[in-house]
Structure 1
Amino acid sequence: MMEKPQISIIISTYDSVDWLKKTLFGYANQSFTDFELLVADDGSDDLTKKTIAKLSSLFKRPLKHIWHEDKGFRKTTILNKAIEATQADYILMSDGDCIPEFNFVAKHMKYRKADYFLSGGYFKLSLLLSQMITLGDIENQSCFNINWLKKRGLKNSIKNIKITAKGFESDLLNSLTPTKATWNGHNSSGWKKDILKVNGFDERMQYGGEDREMGERLLNLGIKAKQIRYCAICVHLDHTRGYVKEEMLINNARIRKETRIMKKTYTDYGIVKK
C-alpha cells in the first residue's frame, strides 16, 4: 500500500476532452511527482471517462474520476465531493482548461505555509493558439516559451511578463502587484483542514465568483493569502461559456455580499449539510 501523497490536485471539467487531455498531460510532466490527481467531473459523457482511464497509466497513482449526473452547472457540488475524496493534507485546485508549467506543483509545495492559502496566476491564450498546442509542445514546454507563442500569433502585451518572469523577478512582481491574493478556481492551494473548517464550497452558487467566496470565508477565519501569480503559472485554453446565465451571477453576487458583510467563516450549504 502506498503512503499518502504530499499533495492532492483537483481538476474540474465538463465535456471538454481535448482541453482536459492537454491539461492532464501537463501534470504527467511535472518536476514534483508525489501527488494524487482527482478529476472533478460535473456530468461529462463517457468519452471523458475513457480519456481519464487511458491517461491514468502516466501517473504514479491512478487518476481518480469523481463524477455525478449532469443536472446543470453544479461545479461547487462536485468539487466538494472531490475534496472529501482527497488523501493529502494539502490541496491544489485548478481547471481542466489550464495546462501547468513543469514546476507548477513544485512551486505550490515550495510556498505552502501553515495558516495561509496560495493564489496563483494564469496566462490566457487565444482559441487558435489553444488549438495549436500539441502534447509534444507540452512535454518540451514550448507552450510556455514567449518566442514560440509569438511566432504563432501572441501579441505584445505587458501581461506577457507572466510567462517571461523567472526567479528573483517573479518573486519581486508577486510582492509588488496591486492584484489581491484571492482563491481562484484556476490556480489556488490550501490546507485541507482549513477548507473543511469553512465547509468547502457553497453549493447554492453556480458560475461567477464561487471560488472566491470560499476564499473570502477562509480570510474571515483568519487564514492569510499569499500571492504567487508570477511564479506558479498555467496557460489557459480558450473556450465558450454557454452555460453562464445572468441569474447565476446575480445570485452569486448576493451570497458573496452576505459573506463579506456578515464576515462568514462557514456555509451551511457546503460539504456538511444542515
Structure 2
Amino acid sequence: MENVKPSISVIISTYNSEEWLEKVLWGFQQQSFKDFEVVIADDGSGPRTKELIRRMKDSVFYKIVHVWQEDEGFQKSKILNKALMGCSADYIIMTDGDCIPRNDFVAVHHLNSAPGFYISGGYCMLPIHISKLIDKEDIEKQNCFNIHWLKSNGIPKKFKKSKLTVKGHVSKFLNSFTPTNASWNGHNSSGWKSDILKVNGFDERMQYGGQDRELGERLMNSGIKGKQLRYSAVCVHLDHKRSYRTLESIAKNKVIRRAVKTSKCSWTPYGIAK
C-alpha cells in the first residue's frame, strides 16, 4: 500500500518559520478527506525546520516529502517548481506555511476539481496576537475558525468574518457573485499537475510580488479557467513580517505580468524546463 499514488499532493511553501509551519501541519492532520500527501517546498530553511519535519512525520497520518534548496534569497518560484516535480499525485493544492486549513479544505478542493479548471480559494488574515495564541488543541477543536472564539480573544471589529460564518448554499451564492475574479493565489489554489507542467510551472525570474498570479494568467492563456471558491475553500492566514518584500521585485514582476497579458503567452522559458 505504501506505493499507492495519492489523489492529491499538497505543496506547502516555507522558510525558517517553524512555529507557523507546525500549526499548518496540525491543520492538515484534521482533514476529513485523507487521501493526500504533503510536499514541503523549503526555500533554504535551517536545521530547526528539518527537525520539525522529522518529528511531524511520526505524528501525522499523511506522508510528508521535504524538498529543500540552498538559501539564496527569496527564490519561492524555483523551490515550487522543484516541489511540483516531487509530487506523486495528478492534482495539486498549493498553500503557504503560514496558512492553517479548515478541516474541509482538502475535501472542498477535491470535490470541485474538474478538467479545464483551476480553483482559487480564500483566506482570513488573523492579527499577530491570535496567530501566536493558537495551539494544537485550538486547531483540533477548530477554534481558530470559530468566530465566537476569535471574538472572545479580541479579534478586531473590522475583521471580515463572512468566510468563516457562511456554508452550503450561501457560500456557493457568494462564490458566484463576488466581484473578485478568480486568480491563482499562493496561499490557496489548486489545479492539475499536467496543466501546470504544460505552461512550464513558475517563472523563476520572479521573486516576491505576484509570481503566483502570473502562473494563473498563463494557465488562463492556455485555456484553463479559474473557479472562484473563496467562500468554500478556507484557511486562516497567520500574521508575520515580510522582510523579503521589495519595491524592486514588485516592479520587475509587474513588467513580466504585463508582457504575459499583452502577448497572451502561456509558456515561460524560465520555468521547469530550461
- Residue 118 of structure 2: aligned partner: 117
Whether the 8 Å CA contact 1:130–1:238 is kept in 2: the answer is yes
Runs of 4+ in 1 over 6 A off after TM superposition: none
1:11 alignment partner, SS class: strand
Q: Deviations over 1:218-274 (max 9, x none)?
A: 00001000000001100000000011111101110110000000001000000001x
Report SS of the residue matched to 1:63: strand
Alignment of 1:209-220 (within 5 A): 209-220=210-221
**Equivalent residue runs for 1:1-274 within 5 Å:** 1-157=2-158, 159-273=160-274
What amino acid does structure 2 have at the position aligned with 1:94? T
Shift of 1:58: 3.1
Distance between the aligned counterparts of 2:138 and 2:61, measured in 1? Answer: 22
TM-score, length basis structure 2:
0.98
**1:159 match: secondary structure:** coil
The CA distance in 2 between the partners of 1:58 and 1:9, in whole Å, is 17
Tell me which moved more, 51-60 or 65-74.
51-60
* Residue range with higher mean Cα deviation, 151-160 or 19-28: 151-160
**Alpha-carbon spacing, 1:73–1:171, altered in 2? closer, same or farther (3 Å):** same
Query: For 1:138 and 1:61, how far apart are their aligned partners in 2?
Result: 17
The CA deviation at 1:201 is 0.1
* Partner Cα distance (1:18, 1:103) in 2: 23
* TM-score under structure 1 length normalisation: 0.98
8 Å contact 2:29–2:62 — kept in the other structure? no
- 1:59, CA displacement in angstroms? 3.3
In the alignment, is the contact (CA less than 8 A) between 2:76 and 2:207 conserved in 1? Answer: yes
The gaps in structure 1 that reach 5 residues or longer are none
Measure, in 1, the Cα distance between the counterparts of 2:201 and 2:59.
29
Question: Residue type of the partner of 1:101?
Answer: R
Give the letter aligned to residue 47 of structure 2.
Answer: D
Distance across 1 between alignment mates of 2:169 and 2:50: 41
C-alpha displacement of 1:158: 7.0
Question: How big is each residue's C-alpha offset from its partner over 1:128-184, in whole Å with a ceiling of 9 and x where there is no partner?
Answer: 110110110000101100000001111234721011011111111000100000000
AA partner of residue 91 (structure 1): I
Helix, strand or coil: the match of 2:161? helix
CA deviations on 1:182-233 (whole Å, 9 max, x unpaired) are 0000000000000000000000000000000000000000100000000110
Aligned residues between the structures: 273
- Judge conservation of contact 1:12–1:39 (CA < 8 Å) in 2: yes
Conserved in 1, the CA contact under 8 Å of 2:147 and 2:165? yes
- How many Å separate the matches in 2 of 1:162 and 1:23? 18
**In 2, distance between residues paired with 1:157 and 1:163?**
14
CA contact (8 A) 2:196 2:219 kept: yes
Q: Secondary structure of the equivalent of 1:258? A: helix
The alpha-carbon distance between structure 1 residues 61 and 26, as it changes in their structure 2 partners (threshold 3 A), is: closer
**33-42 or 60-69, which deviates more:** 60-69
